[in-house]
Amino acid sequence: MEYTVGIVLGIAIGIFSSLVGLDRDRALYPVALIVIASYYCLYAIVGGSNSALVNEMIAAAVFVVVAAIGFRTNLWLVAAGIAGHGVFDLFHHLIIENPGLPTFWPMFCMSIDIVLGAYLALMLWRKTIASTPMQGVR
């Protein structure tokens, strides 16, 4: 069930963002990557584990850096970062023990991350979204 909901939501979020025009702003997917990475920190707080929080913050910082660099240089890096977070979800339990993490979360998060990363990659490949910033635009 977690996989199905993640896949359906990933597709729905991507299509909705395109239909409404939210993805016209280069910041949408980098911000999504930052939010995605922050959820594990939230679950560490819920679980009351300071050590998990520190470890989750370190892991999240990696994805925040990827989001920032990708935003400034090339959104292909952001697509890889979002899908890469899905791979991280698969191995998360081997790296960080987080007592606040719901049992369904890694499977759900992996599914939505991979679908959303693939959706962004498709939009970049089709040139529906520009992969690099326009000249002179900050």
Q: What is the mean pLDDT of the chain?
A: 94
pLDDT tier for residue 132 given thresholds of 50, 70 and 90: confident
- Average of per-residue pLDDT across 58-74: 96
Residue 58 and residue 44 in contact, taking contact as beta carbons nearer than 8 Å:
no
pTM above 0.85, yes or no: yes
136: pLDDT strictly greater than 60 = no
What percentage of the chain's residues is helix, strand, coil (to nearest 5)? Answer: 75, 0, 25
* DSSP conformation class of 100: T
H/E run at residue 111:
helix 105-125
Region of 114 please: left (phi>0), alpha (psi -120 to 50) or beta.
alpha
97: DSSP letter: -
What's the pLDDT tens digit per position in 93-117?
999 999 999 999 999 999 999 999 9
pLDDT of the residue at 133 = 85
Residue 137, pLDDT above cutoff 70 = no
Q: Average the pLDDT over 9-17 and give the result.
A: 96
Residue 135 has pLDDT above 80, yes or no: no
Q: What is the mean pLDDT of residues 74-99?
A: 95
Query: Taking residues 47-71, what's their average pLDDT?
Result: 96
Mean pLDDT value across residues 42-59: 96
pLDDT at position 58 is 97
| Mean local confidence (pLDDT), 52-74 | 96
